C-alpha cells in the first residue's frame, strides 16, 4: 500500500470520536471532516435519526475525503464515511499501480449521493483562467482533504505546473493571498462558502476563476455561482462542482458476525435516511434540501446491504420507537433508484 495510505490507516484508530454513545451494543462510526465543516454537521444529522431509533452512531472527525475512504475500508466498526465523488478518479489516477489500493476501491460502495460542492478558485485579478496558474504559487488544501484531492487531480488533468503547491487549509490561504504571498487557492465547498461570505475581500483585486475546461467535464458537473453570492463577485461565474457522497463497505453477512452486524447497520441506516428525508430537510443542515438520492455519480456501485434497506417493507432493528415511515413520499424515490440500479453492471 502507498506510504500515505499506510500512514492514514495507522492513525485512524487514534482519531477523536465525538458523538452520542451507542444506545445498543454494536459500535458504529461515520467519518466526516473538521469540527466546523459541513461533513460533520451532515454526520450529526444522520446520527440523530439513528438515535431516534435507538441505534447509536459515533461521529468521527477527520482530515477529509481520502482519510474517510481509507477508514471505511480499514478502520474497524467504521461503516460509513462522507467523501467527494472524485476520490475514485483520484485513486485510479495516482494509485493505479498499487494492488492493495485497487482492492480497496473494489470493496468500497456508495450508499447515497448527497449534495454538490462547488470548486472555488480565488485568484488575483490578473489571472484569467486555470491555465494561467502555471508558474504561480497556489494553495491546494491540507494534505488528504477533499480540497487537496480535487486541486491535485484538476491540475494534473490540465497538466498545469505551478511554481509551488502549498498544502495549507483555505482559511490559512486567504490571508496569504490578500497579503500577496500566493497567487491563488482552491476551496471545495457548497456555495455560499462561509469563508468567502464573511471575509472582506477586495473585488478589484481578487475574483473567482471560471472553470469551463473541457477535460474536466468528464469528472465534474458544470455549476454556476450566482452573481452577488459573494460581495466581491457581482457577476455569475461558471465553474464545476463535485458531489459529496455517503460511502460504505460491501459487507458479506455470510462471512462472520461482524460482517452480518455491519451489513444490518448499513441496511438500517439506508432505510432511516430514505424514510427520514422530510425530517432531515426540515431539521438538518440546509444542504439536505438539495439532496437528490437518485443522482448517482458515475463509476460507483451501490452496496448490496444498502439495496436491502431500501425495500419498502424493510424494518430497521430499532431499540426505541421511531417515526412512522413516509412510504408514500419515498415510493417515487425508490422507483427512481431502482431504475438507476438496473443500469449498473
What element of type H or E holds 100?
A: helix 99-107
* Number of domains into which the chain is organized: 2
Q: Is residue 127 located within the same domain as residue 234? A: yes
Domain of residue 188, residue span: 117-242
Provide the pLDDT for residue 153. 94
Q: Is residue 129 located within the same domain as residue 219? A: yes
Provide the pLDDT for residue 33. 85
Q: In the chain, what are the helix, strand and coil shares in percent, each to the nearest 5? A: 40, 20, 40
Provide the pLDDT for residue 215. 94
Provide the pLDDT for residue 333. 60
Q: Is residue 7 located within the same domain as residue 101? A: yes
Residue 169's CATH number: 3.40.190.10
Q: Is residue 16 located within the same domain as residue 121? A: no
Distance, first Cα to last Cα, the chain: 27
Neighbours of 167 (CB within 10 A): 15
Spell out the residues 6+ positions from residue 103 whose beta carbon is closer than 8 angstroms to its own.
Answer: none
Residue at a domain's end among 180, 212, 242: 242
Residues with pLDDT less than 70, the chain: 1-24, 95-96, 100-101, 104, 321-345
Q: Is residue 130 located within the same domain as residue 275? A: no
Q: Is residue 161 located within the same domain as residue 297? A: no
Q: Is residue 54 located within the same domain as residue 125? A: no
List the grid coordinates of 21: 454513545
* pTM given for the model: 0.80
Pairing of strands 164-166, 137-139: parallel
Cα distances from 305 to residues 91, 125, 131, 165, in angstroms, run: 24, 49, 43, 40
Q: Is residue 252 located within the same domain as residue 109? A: yes
Contact 273, 233 (CB under 8 A): no
Amino acid at each position: 500500500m502507498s506510504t500515505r495510505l499506510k500512514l492514514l490507516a495507522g492513525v485512524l484508530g487514534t482519531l477523536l470520536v465525538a458523538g452520542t454513545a451507542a444506545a445498543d451494543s454494536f459500535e458504529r462510526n461515520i467519518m466526516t471532516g473538521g469540527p466546523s465543516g459541513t461533513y460533520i454537521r451532515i454526520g450529526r444529522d444522520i446520527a440523530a435519526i439513528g438515535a431516534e431509533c435507538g441505534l447509536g452512531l459515533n461521529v468521527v472527525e477527520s482530515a477529509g475525503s481520502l482519510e474517510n475512504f481509507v477508514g471505511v475500508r480499514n478502520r474497524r466498526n467504521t461503516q460509513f464515511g462522507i467523501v467527494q465523488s472524485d476520490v475514485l478518479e483520484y485513486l485510479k489516477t495516482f494509485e493505479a499501480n498499487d494492488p492493495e489500493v485497487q482492492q480497496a476501491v473494489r470493496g468500497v460502495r456508495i450508499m447515497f449521493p448527497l449534495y454538490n460542492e462547488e470548486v472555488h478558485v480565488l485568484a488575483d485579478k490578473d489571472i484569467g483562467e486555470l491555465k494561467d496558474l502555471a508558474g504561480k504559487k497556489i494553495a491546494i488544501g491540507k494534505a488528504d482533504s477533499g480540497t487537496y484531492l480535487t486541486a491535485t487531480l484538476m491540475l494534473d488533468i490540465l497538466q498545469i505546473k505551478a511554481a509551488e503547491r502549498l498544502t495549507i487549509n483555505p482559511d490559512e490561504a486567504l490571508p496569504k493571498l490578500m497579503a500577496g504571498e500566493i497567487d491563488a487557492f482552491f476551496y471545495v465547498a457548497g456555495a455560499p462558502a462561509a469563508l468567502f461570505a464573511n471575509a472582506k475581500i477586495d473585488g478589484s483585486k481578487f475574483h473567482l476563476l471560471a472553470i469551463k475546461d473541457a477535460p474536466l467535464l468528464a469528472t465534474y458537473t458544470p455549476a454556476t455561482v450566482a452573481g452577488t453570492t459573494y460581495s466581491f463577485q457581482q457577476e455569475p461565474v461558471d465553474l464545476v462542482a463535485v458531489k459529496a457522497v455517503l460511502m460504505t463497505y460491501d459487507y458479506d453477512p455470510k462471512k462472520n458476525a461482524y460482517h452480518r452486524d455491519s451489513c444490518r447497520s448499513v441496511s438500517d441506516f439506508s432505510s432511516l435516511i430514505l424514510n427520514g428525508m422530510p425530517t432531515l430537510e426540515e431539521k438538518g443542515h440546509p444542504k439536505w434540501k438539495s439532496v437528490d438520492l437518485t443522482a448517482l455519480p458515475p463509476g460507483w456501485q451501490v452496496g448490496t446491504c444498502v439495496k436491502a434497506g431500501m425495500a419498502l417493507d424493510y424494518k430497521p432493528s430499532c431499540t426505541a420507537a421511531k417515526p412512522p415511515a413516509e412510504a408514500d413520499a419515498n415510493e417515487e424515490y425508490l422507483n427512481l433508484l431502482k431504475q438507476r440500479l438496473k443500469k449498473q453492471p
